[in-house]
Amino acid sequence: MIDIIDKTLCCGCWACSNVCPKSCIDMREDQEGFLYPEVRKDDCVDCHLCEKVCPVLNTKEKRMPKKTFAAKNKDKKVVEKSSSGGVFFHFAKQVILEGGVVFGARFDKDWNVVHDYTDKVDGISKFMTSKYVQSQIGNTYSLVKDFLKSGRKVLFTGTPCQIGGLHNFLRKQYPNLLTMDFLCHGVPSPKVWKMYLHQEANEYIDSAQRAVGRNTVLHSLQPMSLIEDINFREKSEGWQKFRFVLRFAEPLCESKQNSVLSSSSHSDNVYMKGFLNDLYLRPSCYKCKFKRFQSQSDITIADYWAIARVRKEFYDRNGVSMVFINDEHALAYLTPTVFDTVETSFEDTLSNKGLHELVEVNKYRAHFFAKLDNTNDIKALIAKYVEPSIIEKMIKKIKWLVKR
């Protein structure tokens, strides 16, 4: 049976939970907020399927790209609503128009990130844009298998480890399955995310209370219920200067015309800083076994950050996607009527470190999690461990002066 002793060996993909014939594997949250499988031993029949489908214990051969492209959707509205060049939307739309279903990550009513599916074009939008939180797969692998066996086409999108988990769970190739992953920096703790979000919502209520005065009481409101939208990659200032945006409802007005935005640059937002400084990623991310195309996905997408250097004429301030075609049948979806594309060399993509470099464990990670349950100010706690100390600032300054 699956028994997690070393947490760097569990990516939280749920493959073991989905495959268990006795449904005796539960996903339990640990102190850091990540989910791990826990076997109810009295119900276990020692079939070992959980071990056989684990993508960490059973890695596949690399599936290197056949072709590499820079791509952007010709529909500017789609690009504006996407994290980069609007590639996912068309792939998803085409699969649905062919009678298929699309799986992806969305927010639930409590702003947790969960995997779900849609077979409606107007349902695609909830899966668009990046969500920098680990999603809960739930029973979606089992649902994928049911759809595939019924003959329907399926597009499944997720992190490389989630794609690896799906392929191992299915244990056979399905011609009607299309898988799409992305170059992944790592997945942050859902617990940290919810603590951060609760604090932002409470601070919004407090500021609204001060604005209306003491004679109007707002504290009976549920702060989280006032959140209307979350966008990790808002692009009003350009794709490479994306902002983290929370949209809150006006407490005293039912009209969404009076929504209030909380907006900050990704380099200034404390949650994003903690994420990008690798402070609260899942332990397995620091030893990721799915870098360098180990997931067996058909398509891999990413931001083509270096496009201005590689193909200056192709640069677009609203976003350009990097697209790796890992299986020839996926190339049919990159249609010239929908996308502007230019083929680039594999070497041109290597400047995106997410392709080949592992993230390093933040030296303050253990200190951060040791204090997590005792803090009432998660933003201050994150800031404490991502803001450089005076000594670190001095060392950085000296190094800069020496290089001049």
Cα(344)–Cα(99) distance, integer angstroms: 32
* Mean pLDDT for the stretch of residues 129-150: 98
Tokens of 191: 């617990």
Quote the CA–CA distance of 204 and 183 in Å, as a whole number: 34
Going from the C-alpha of 219 to that of each of 208, 248, 256, 352, 372, the distances in angstroms are 10, 15, 20, 46, 25
313-324 average pLDDT score: 97
pLDDT category, 255, cuts 50, 70, 90? very low
The model's confidence at residue 390, banded by pLDDT at 50, 70 and 90, is low
The DSSP bridge partners found for residue 273 are none
Task: Locate all alpha helices (DSSP H) within 221-317, ordered by sequence.
Answer: 270-276, 307-310
- Evaluate whether 309 touches 37 at the Cβ level (below 8 Å): no
Query: pTM of the full predicted structure?
Result: 0.92
- pLDDT tens across 201-240, in order? 999 888 877 776 665 555 556 888 889 999 999 999 999 9
Q: What is the pLDDT of residues 141-168, one digit of tens each?
A: 999 999 999 999 999 999 999 999 999 9
Q: In whole angstroms, what is the distance from residue 130 CA to residue 345 CA? A: 26
DSSP H helical ranges for 235-346: 270-276, 307-310
| Strand 243-248, strand 25-29: pairing | unpaired
